[in-house]
Chains A and B, each alone.
Chain A
Amino acid sequence: MRVDKVLRGMLMKALALAGLNPWLTCRECVDLVTEFLEGALSPRDRALVLAHLERCPHCPRYIRQIELMIRLVGATATDSDALSPVNRAALLDDFRRHGPRDPDDET
């Protein structure tokens, strides 16, 4: 980790201890993560999150892990895609009979 980042992180915590931190806390940052990733934050909140991420040694990892989790979950999906839960013959039969082309002969 870069030295300047460590120093900025320490400064952030020191200011927070003195009750002066102008940035978000980690907890606030974590609570905004989904809105941040969705691009749904106001410019001001987005700037606050970015400012926090520049200084915090842990929250960037939290976001990376959320993203990695999503990729891992995506990797599981391939597994059961071979499922064929429908009775295809019956559906096609039904499609032929109730096919929407001929709304008139639905007697």
Chain B
Amino acid sequence: MSYRLPRRSDRYTRCAAAAEVDAVADGEPVKAQDATRSALAEVTVLERLRGGDERAFESLIDQHSPAMLRLALVYVPNLAVAEEVVQETWLAVVRGVDSFQARSSLRTWIFRILVNRAKSSGMAEPRNLPLSDEAEGDKAERSVVDTARFSGLPRGYWSSPPNHWDELPEDRLLARETMAFIEGAIETLPRVQQAVFRLRDIEHWTSAEVCEALGLTVANQRVLLHRARARMRTAIEEYFDAR
């Protein structure tokens, strides 16, 4: 299969350079519109579910199961357990949908059930993932790029600046090999970072939704995202550096 870059107009990629930065503000109303539209769609889905509409349930399963499986894999030791967690989550959704109070969105509610189940299933056989920075959102230390790269004179300025991998042609960036590397790199992120990163930058959830689904504070969520993004950028830089 071939890979395509999501369009630059994507709301997460708008401020490409300092000169364009102020254009970011122009995008806000669009975001708000999107949110309203999806909130309306959600109310409809919820009503149909409560009315026993199988089609609505099926399309909800199709829509969310792949992302749920990937998120479950962050917490549990293998695919079989992850699949079980996804299945159990849907059963819990069926039983809970009537008492679900639309204080959070439907999908954050579903994913919160998923994460709680995945966490308790994962507890039995912890997966071999770096756990050391599980609570890293609380740490005071913030620098995410190797400090050695700012060690020249004057201090604090790039002595080893980012290399130019962003100028590589698209077919290099999107090569099957690169994509495989990136997928592997995501899997090596510490779990909470990985969960945040997947929901924010792959599923394009808002930070409020991620906080809700994963039970994080806004500040905590942002630090985790910050670290995950920095790690991913560095990983890609090193990958292209090595060839």
Contact = CB atoms under 8 A, between A and B. Distances in A.
A78 interface: yes
Interface stretch (B35-43, B101-109, B172-180): B172-180
Contact of A25 (B68, B94, B157): B157
B91 interface: yes
Counting chain B residues whose Cβ lies within 8 A of the other chain, the interface size class is 35 or more
B10, B57, B165, B174: most-surrounded residue (chain A CB, <10 A): B57
Contact of A86 (B83, B229, B236): B83
A101 B50 contact: yes
Given A50-B21, A69-B232, A74-B6, A64 B61 contact: no
Nearest to B24: A39
Q: Is the interface of A mostly helix, strand, loop or mixed?
A: helix
A95 B51 CA distance: 11
A84 B65 contact: yes
Interface in B190-239: 201-204, 207, 222, 225-226, 229-230, 232-233, 236-237
Contacts, number: 199
A34 B24 CA distance: 14
Interface in A22-45: 25-28, 30-31, 33-35, 37-40
Given A65-B165, A67-B13, A72-B236, A90 B3 contact: no
Nearest to A97: B94
B143 A35 contact: no
A83 to B, nearest CB: 5
A13 B143 contact: no
A91 B60 CA distance: 12
B70 interface: yes
B3 A76 contact: yes
Interface string A85-102: 111101110111011110
Interface string B117-129: 0000000000000
A79 interface: yes
B82 interface: yes
Given A71-B6, A100-B94, A103-B98, A77 B202 contact: yes
Contact of A98 (B58, B95, B150): B95
Interface of B: 1, 3-6, 8, 10, 12-13, 15-18, 21, 24, 49-52, 54, 57-58, 61, 65-66, 68-70, 82-83, 86-87, 90-91, 94-95, 97-98, 142-145, 147, 150, 153-158, 161-162, 164-166, 173-174, 178-179, 182-183, 186, 201-204, 207, 222, 225-226, 229-230, 232-233, 236-237
Interface of A: 13, 16-17, 21, 25-28, 30-31, 33-35, 37-40, 50, 53-54, 56-88, 90-92, 94-96, 98-101, 103
